[in-house]
Amino acid sequence: MRFGLLHTLTTALSLVSPSHAARILMGNDDGFGSGNLREFYRLLKEAGHDVIIVAPVINQSAQGGRSDFTTAANLTAPGQYNIVPAGAPSVGPDPNDSHIWYYNGTPAACTFVALDYVLPRYFPDWNQSPDLFVSGPNFGVNLGPIVFTLTGTLGATYAAVSRSIPGIAFSASNDAIAYTNVTNSSNPATWAASVSVNIVEAFLNGTSEGQSVLPLGYGVNVNIPPLTSDAMPEVVRSRLTGEADTDIAVFNETTKLFKYGNVVPKAAGVNACINGDCNLPGETWVVQGGSISVSIFTIDYDAPDVAYTNSVFAKIDGLTGGGDEGNSSTTYKKRVVGKNGVIPEKLLSGRDNIAR
Ligand SMILES: *[C@@H]1O[C@H](CO)[C@@H](O)[C@H](O)[C@H]1NC(C)=O
Ligand SMILES: *[C@@H]1O[C@H](CO)[C@@H](O)[C@H](O)[C@H]1NC(C)=O
Ligand SMILES: *[C@@H]1O[C@H](CO)[C@@H](O)[C@H](O)[C@H]1NC(C)=O
Ligand SMILES: *[C@@H]1O[C@H](CO)[C@@H](O)[C@H](O)[C@H]1NC(C)=O
Ligand SMILES: *[C@@H]1O[C@H](CO)[C@@H](O)[C@H](O)[C@H]1NC(C)=O
Ligand SMILES: *[C@@H]1O[C@H](CO)[C@@H](O)[C@H](O)[C@H]1NC(C)=O
Ligand SMILES: *[C@@H]1O[C@H](CO)[C@@H](O)[C@H](O)[C@H]1NC(C)=O
Ligand SMILES: *[C@@H]1O[C@H](CO)[C@@H](O)[C@H](O)[C@H]1NC(C)=O
């Protein structure tokens, strides 16, 4: 695989930054002119990686995993920060950088447009198979399970994971800044990008030749506390649940409108520990403590095969037949399929366009 040679070389030469040169596809939800995204892009390239951005032409925050494609072939309004004018095609490159693309759709839609349009048409040597997808860093942290359906930063990422591409979502604590306003290297956008690159490098460094950066169906959620320099805060293994917030609808009697707030005290439902290591700290707690949280998720949303799950199925035994598998064992058991209609055998492989 293409990782191979460079990895061997850098290891042999004991370079300071012994990472693989990887093909990295980037997205976000804040828009393709985000200072965080552009700094992340710049520093990933500086680290030697081959990088392509496909991100929303305007701010598409809070779209979750919604995949919304525009119905207009051309932009009806200028793109973010007037980088592209109204009337320009709804998908296209930045006028100044052919590796930075915009699309007039949601973050998840941008991931699919990247994989099915931008890469095959303009970067055919990528074989539609980036080594890694990264999103962000978002302006504002994305903590706890509710962000899974709420934020486009995660939505773009699990779209990639669903297409068998390892995905890491990055969210930082800094305020929005346009890339054109990033004029030096000592500002929060560059700091957030810098620590994000360190985390990418660690994942690549920890991946041996021929391996996928993450197992199939796995993704990572990284949250970064407020930074005052590019120094790495402590990095902590965490879980999505634990101290996590969820929403409450707050009604204003004067305006007759709702706003969201956080449930106080914290809700039990969003913090139920069902999968993973229940002893790990919640990411919300970790970031409040000033550290970087790294949580691992899967997009297999099935409940685990435990007593609780069985007790739920048992309630409808009258419909499905009793016993561990109900009567599915007779008809449907044979039809548990993976992608391309086969049972996946090599769980550490799996980019869809790489022959296995
Ligand atoms: C979009 O713009 C192109 C020129 O950039 C023009 O040729 C085309 O007709 C436009 N399409 C629509 C649907 O307006
Ligand atoms: C592109 O680069 C030119 C010259 O470097 C600059 O004047 C212009 O503002 C840039 N445009 C964008 C959209 O960044
Ligand atoms: C996009 O919108 C969200 C929500 O309003 C906001 O938090 C974020 O800062 C915005 N991003 C940019 C680049 O303006
Ligand atoms: C960029 O800088 C200009 C000029 O200082 C300021 O007016 C604008 O609000 C800034 N915008 C963003 C998104 O950083
Ligand atoms: C760097 O840019 C930021 C704005 O992005 C500004 O607040 C700061 O003063 C600048 N620092 C230096 C050393 O120029
Ligand atoms: C790279 O990985 C090796 C072995 O897994 C480890 O010893 C080393 O500290 C890592 N370096 C970086 C920069 O992550
Ligand atoms: C309700 O909305 C009004 C008008 O915006 C505002 O002045 C008031 O503070 C709000 N009330 C509460 C309890 O937030
Ligand atoms: C499955 O089991 C239920 C309950 O025993 C029965 O009513 C149903 O006909 C069975 N379906 C099939 C396809 O065997």
Q: What is the pLDDT of residue 278?
A: 96
**Cα–Cα distance between 68 and 201 in angstroms, integer?**
32
Cα 250 to Cα 89, 112, 253, distances in angstroms:
41, 36, 10
Does the domain at 13-244+270-298 match CATH 3.40.1210.10? Answer given as yes
pLDDT at 264 > cutoff 50 = yes
Out of 130-144, 226-240, 324-338, 339-353, pick the least confident.
339-353
Ligand 4 centroid to 175 CA: how many Å? 11
For residue 167, report the distance from its CA to the centre of ligand 6, in Å: 20
Question: In angstroms, what is the span from residue 222 Cα to ligand 5's centroid?
Answer: 26
CA atoms of 295 and 171, how far apart (whole Å): 12
Q: How far apart are CA 335 and CA 92, in angstroms?
A: 41
End-to-end CA separation in angstroms for the chain: 12
Q: Which residue among the candidates 135, 171, 194, 291 is catalytic per the annotation?
A: 171
Tell the residue nearest (CA) to atom 2 of ligand 8. Answer: 321
Type of residue numbered 36: N
Atom of ligand 7 lying closest to residue 259 CA: 14
Report whether residue 252 contacts ligand 7, using a CB cutoff of 6 Å. yes
User: What are the boundaries of each domain within the chain?
Assistant: 13-244+270-298, 307-348
Contacts of 331 (CB under 8 A, 6+ apart): none
pLDDT at 2 (0 to 100): 36
Considering only CA atoms, which residue is closest to atom 3 of ligand 2? 96
Low-confidence winner among 229-238, 275-284, 317-326 (lowest mean pLDDT): 317-326
Q: What is the pLDDT of residue 335?
A: 53
Distances (CA, A) of 48 to 45, 151, 314: 5, 29, 54
Find out whether the beta carbon of 71 lies less than 6 Å from any atom of ligand 7. no
Q: Please tell me the residue having the least CA distance from ligand 6 atom 10.
A: 205
Write the pLDDT tens digit of every residue in 282-318: 999 999 999 999 999 999 999 999 999 999 999 999 9
Ligand that lies nearest to the alpha carbon of residue 82, given by its number in the listed order: 2
Tokens of 18: 């012994």
In short, whether 76's Cβ falls inside 6 Å of ligand 1 is no
Q: Is the pLDDT of residue 354 over 80?
A: no
Mean pLDDT of 136-150: 94
Active site residue 293: no
Instruction: Pick the residue whose CA is nearest to atom 14 on ligand 1.
Output: 74
| Angle at CA of residue 143, ends 137 and 222, nearest 5° | 45
Q: What is the pTM of this model?
A: 0.89
Residue nearest to atom 5 of ligand 2 (CA): 96
List the Cα angle 113/116/120 in 5-degree steps.
120
Alpha-carbon distance 278 to 161, whole Å?
A: 24
Q: What's the CA-to-centroid distance between 60 and ligand 3, angstroms?
A: 8
Using the predicted structure, report yes or no on whether residue 210 has a pLDDT greater than 90.
Answer: no
To test ligand 6's pocket by mutation, which of 14, 194, 200, 205 has the most ligand atoms within 8 angstroms of CB? Answer: 205
* Cα of 61 from ligand 4 centre, angstroms: 19
